[in-house]
Each structure stands twice: as C-alpha cells, then as structure tokens.
Structure 1
Amino acid sequence: MSATYNTRLSTVKIENLRLRAFIGFMDWETEKLQDLVISFSFKYDAAAASESDDIKYAVDYKAITKDIIELVENKSYFLLETLAEKIYVQIQNAAAGLEDISVKIEKPNALRFADSVMVKIDGKDRYNTAIIALGSNINSEQNFSDALKLLQDCGFIMQRTEFLKTKPLKFESQPEFLNGAVLLRTKKSLSELKMHLKQIEALLGRVRTDNKNAPRTIDLDVTTYNGFVIDQEIQTFPFLLDFVRQLQPSIQLENRDLA
C-alpha cells in the first residue's frame, strides 16, 4: 500500500433523466409507457483525472448514462424497486472504487393526490465485499492475531484463508513471510477502508523506509473490492491469486483488467 495514499474525491451527479418504461402491475400500466424521472450520483477518486486533464483517468458518466437508458427505455418492470436495484448494480459495476452511489427513481402521478412515488437506494446503507491480504515477517503470528481483531472494526470477517509461509521475492535477505487473506463485509467505502488499514498498520508498529520490500510488522492491502481487482501486484505474488480463488471464486482473474 502506498505510504502517500491520498484521495481527492469528486461527486458526479446526473439529475432528472426523463425516460419511459412499462412499469407497474395493473393492466393499463403494462400496456402504456409510463414516465420515469431518474437521478443518480457517485463519488470517485479523481486525483489522476484532475492532475492530468485526461479523460482516460476519469469515470465515463456519459457511458454509464447510456447504459441506464438502454436498461430502462421501453423496457418492462413490475416494481420500481427492481429497476432501482438494476440501475444501482449497473453503476457499481461500471468502474472500480465508486463510492456513495445513490439512485432515485420517481414515477410522476402514480398516486392520486401525490406528485410522484419515489424509490431511492443509498449506497451508504449497503455492505461492500472486500478481500484484505495480510503479510508479516516480524513477530508475525502475534501481529496477525492483533490485525484480525482490529479488522473487525471495519466490518464482518466472513471467511479467511489458511495462513502460509512464503519466501521473500523482491528483497531476499530477510525472514520468511506469513501470508493470508480474509473476506470482509464492510460499509466503508474503498477510500475509507484503505485509510483504516493504514491506521491499523501504524498501530501495530509498521515503519516505512526507503526500501519498500523491507521486513514489516504487518502489511494490509485491499486485494479486491466489490468484484474488482484493486491490488496491482496480484500477478506478482501467486498466493494472492490463490487467495482470491478461495474466497471469491466468482471473480474471473484470467485476462481481467486491473482497477
């Protein structure tokens, strides 16, 4: 994990996207297109985009909007809740590390005496799924035990791998490492989770030097987050690939672009 990790969150908001769909379960609702007003927003770390002024580092909200139009326009759904969930998942799967996703759907004139009916999903109410990799070669068993206790402040540990000894790969003049990983359910966003892991490392005496591969009391990294591979070094350390296959076999690692 980078010692200088620092997010620059930006909010992207699309408001009042006006579409039509067959929505409802009454006969007339399934036969006549109904007006829908859709708004959504999300946050992402825009540091690279703002510094470079290069679109390739930005989240393509135009493409996301186009996908939502395709999902909604002239399609058939019984419930606003179903459509809101599909839009939420569509946005969540659009890019790694999208935070605080919010989706709001309004159906004007759906109820007598009311302007509209609204269904809203707030990502802050949802749990995220992450794989956290642990590594240590200084008093490793005790530091693993302490780290696991502190990780419970981030959420719920659902599963863990076996802990295994590995030889150092990049800086060989040091003791073997103890490595493992846990599957975590957390309400923390990706940026919050990374900062919390840095805090745990500091509490357990992690000292960073110019040698990034030096011995350490504990190393905690987000390997995957909501199905996206986050750790750029996953291809360098074979055991990380094994951990993902054990904890989240649904993630396709082969030929998958990294976040």
Structure 2
Amino acid sequence: MPLHALNEQHLDHDLASIRIKNLRLRTFIGIKEEEIKNRQDVIINVVIRYRAAGAVQFNHIDQALNYRTITKHIISHVEDGRFQLLERMTREVLDIVMSYPQVLTAQVEIDKPHALRFADSVSITLSETRGDHAAV
C-alpha cells in the first residue's frame, strides 16, 4: 500500500465525533406577543466531527477541539439573542460551530418544548460539511 494511502487511512481512523447533548437554555423565540415578552426553553443538540489525530497522539488540549469554548459561545449567543424562527436560531448556532476551522462537519438540532399542544416538542435540524455553500 502506498504511503499516502496509509496516511489517509490513519486520518480516517482518528475522526472524532463530539456530541453536546441536551443543552438546556432560555431565550426569546417566537412571533406571538407572549413569546416576544417571555423567555422560553430550548434544547440544543450538536454533533461535531473533526480530525483528532493530534489529540489522540499528544494528549494535550491544544491539539483538541475545545468543546467547552464552543458551548460557551453557543450559550452566550442564544441566551442574549432574540429569534422569531427556530430555523434562524438553528442556522446561527450551526454558523457558530462551523466558525471553528477544525470542524469538518456539524449537525445542530434545536427543540422548542411544548410548541404544539399534543407534542413534546418541535425541532429543526440543520447540518453542514466544510466546503458546503448551504445547509443540508
């Protein structure tokens, strides 16, 4: 097997998935007067894929994607923001995640609990791959 094929195979082996699960925040989301005046709960789930070869090899934070930094960025943006549409909030959170150059792909799902009378929640999911021009 050629050396470049071995290197590519090794890179695929060290693809990491980071999952931020059920990040519970409060923000202004919606178009009704009550929604504009009162914060509501949202639940954010994020899946991030990045090459973790450096983190695996060197066991040092400088080689890893710092999910704490990303999460703090998301918290600040969502809690300080005002959103009419769940789609817009989801896009903005995805843009935050993709702003970190190490991120290869990301998926963001945001739930708005109790948005419908007989449902637990309504959610929107958007995803992007580095180099994409639009969300999938």
Under a length normalisation based on structure 1, what TM-score does the superposition of the two structures give? 0.46
Deviations 1:64-122 (A, max 9, x none): 000000110142110010010001010001223x2231100000001111110100012
1:128 aligns with 2:118: no
Equivalence for 1:36: 42
CA contact under 8 A between 2:55 and 2:63: conserved in structure 1?
yes
RMSD: 2.1
Distance in 1 between the 2:18 and 2:126 partners? 16
1:61 aligns with 2:67: yes
Equivalence for 2:118: 113
CA contact under 8 A between 2:94 and 2:127: conserved in structure 1?
no
Under a length normalisation based on structure 2, what TM-score does the superposition of the two structures give? 0.86
Equivalence for 1:241: none
1:104 equivalent among 109, 113, 122: 109
SS in structure 2 of the partner of residue 128 of structure 1: coil
CA contact under 8 A between 2:42 and 2:111: conserved in structure 1?
yes
Distance in 1 between the 2:25 and 2:95 partners? 19
Alpha-carbon distance, 1:123 to partner: 2.4
- Aligned identity (percent) is 34
Deviations 1:102-158 (A, max 9, x none): 10000000111111010001226x8626xxxxxxxxxxxxxxxxxxxxxxxxxxxxx
Deviations 1:199-245 (A, max 9, x none): xxxxxxxxxxxxxxxxxxxxxxxxxxxxxxxxxxxxxxxxxxxxxxx
1:48 aligns with 2:54: yes
Unaligned ranges ≥5, structure 2: none
Equivalence for 2:15: 9
Please identify which structure carries the higher helix content.
2
Distance in 1 between the 2:121 and 2:62 partners? 38
Distance in 1 between the 2:54 and 2:38 partners? 46
Deviations 1:33-83 (A, max 9, x none): 110000101111101111100110000100000000011014211001001
Unaligned ranges ≥5, structure 1: 130-184, 188-259
Higher relative contact order, chain-length normalized (CA < 8 Å, sep 6+): 2
Equivalence for 1:26: 32
CA contact under 8 A between 1:59 and 1:95: conserved in structure 2?
no
Distance in 2 between the 1:93 and 1:67 partners? 11
Pairing 1:226-241 to 2, within 5 Å after superposition:
none
Equivalence for 1:256: none
Pairing 1:117-156 to 2, within 5 Å after superposition:
117-123=122-128, 128=132
1:49 maps to a residue whose letter is: A
Equivalence for 2:83: 77
Pairing 1:202-221 to 2, within 5 Å after superposition:
none
